[in-house]
Amino acid sequence: MNAPRDLLRQIVVISAVVFMLVAAAVGTGAFGGTPVQDLQGGALDADASLLAPATPAFSIWSVIYILLIAYAIWQALPSQRTRDRQRAIGWLVAITAVLNGLWLVLAQFTTLPLTVAGIVLLLIALCVTFRRAVTEPGRGVLDSLLIDGVTGLHLGWVSLATVANTAAWLTATGPADWAAAGEIVAVAVLAVVAVIGVGIAWASRWRIAPGLALSWGLSWLAVGRLLTEPQSVVVGIAAIVVAVIVIAVPLVGTVIDRAAQVSNAGA
């Protein structure tokens, strides 16, 4: 039952995604605002720090937005209204969409530290949402794509974006002598990203979407460090290594898991 609450959830999800899209339009300068790369004195641009991915990496937002739009439409269907998985996931997806849009508002109108706080909140919300998607298994292609896929891609990309956003803040506000240790710190952070990527893969039973988004962003981070400013061969190579790790681990884990299932079924 709880039909009124279920209908409210569907409306809230649609409203949250609409807010996110409007905020994205403002963030890209479509309504006359300043594009993200020019905000905060250029601190959020692709050349702002050693851990900033090259500009093409951000095209993944288009994929995430399209999938979130598709999810908002799909979950609004009468057949989805009272599903237990939609009840478990819908409110959380709405929160992540609002926080996604809020980050763009913070970047446009507030300060760099507040953007870090905003993206950390988004990351926490995505961790909770993705964990719920793992513990509340779905069925069929649409469940896999529009719940597991979109939340996984969103989580993977925002994990790296949180690193880039924090690095942009520290680079812009830290003392000049921090630059001497920049490469060492960047490589150490990338090592932590590798651990996080492997941890997400293991905790999610080898779901591939988070690693795919992480690997995408890390690959473009490598391109940025090897081909554009600020250049760093060491950081570029480290990013390539981590990109391979975070996508290879869930792929190998999936193969091993499937092989074990086949073996057990034949026993």
Given a contact cutoff of 8 angstroms between Cβ atoms, the answer to whether 138 and 85 are in contact is yes
Residue with tokens 């996984």: 152
pLDDT of 266 > 70? The answer is: no
- The number of folded domains in the chain is 1
Angle, alpha carbons 187-191-193 (nearest 5°): 115
pLDDT of 210 > 80? The answer is: yes
pLDDT (average), residues 167-189: 86
Q: How far apart are CA 96 and CA 102, in angstroms?
A: 10
**Domain residues for 204?**
3-266
Residue 53 is given by DSSP the state P
Mean pLDDT score of the chain: 92
Question: Which pLDDT value is given to residue 267?
Answer: 60
The number of beta carbons lying within 10 Å of the beta carbon of residue 166 is 19
Name the pTM for this structure: 0.94
Taking Cα atoms as reference points, which of 78, 60, 56 lies closest to residue 68?
60
Q: How far apart are CA 129 and CA 110, in angstroms?
A: 27
Q: How far apart are CA 59 and CA 219, in angstroms?
A: 13
Amino acid letter for position 108:
Q
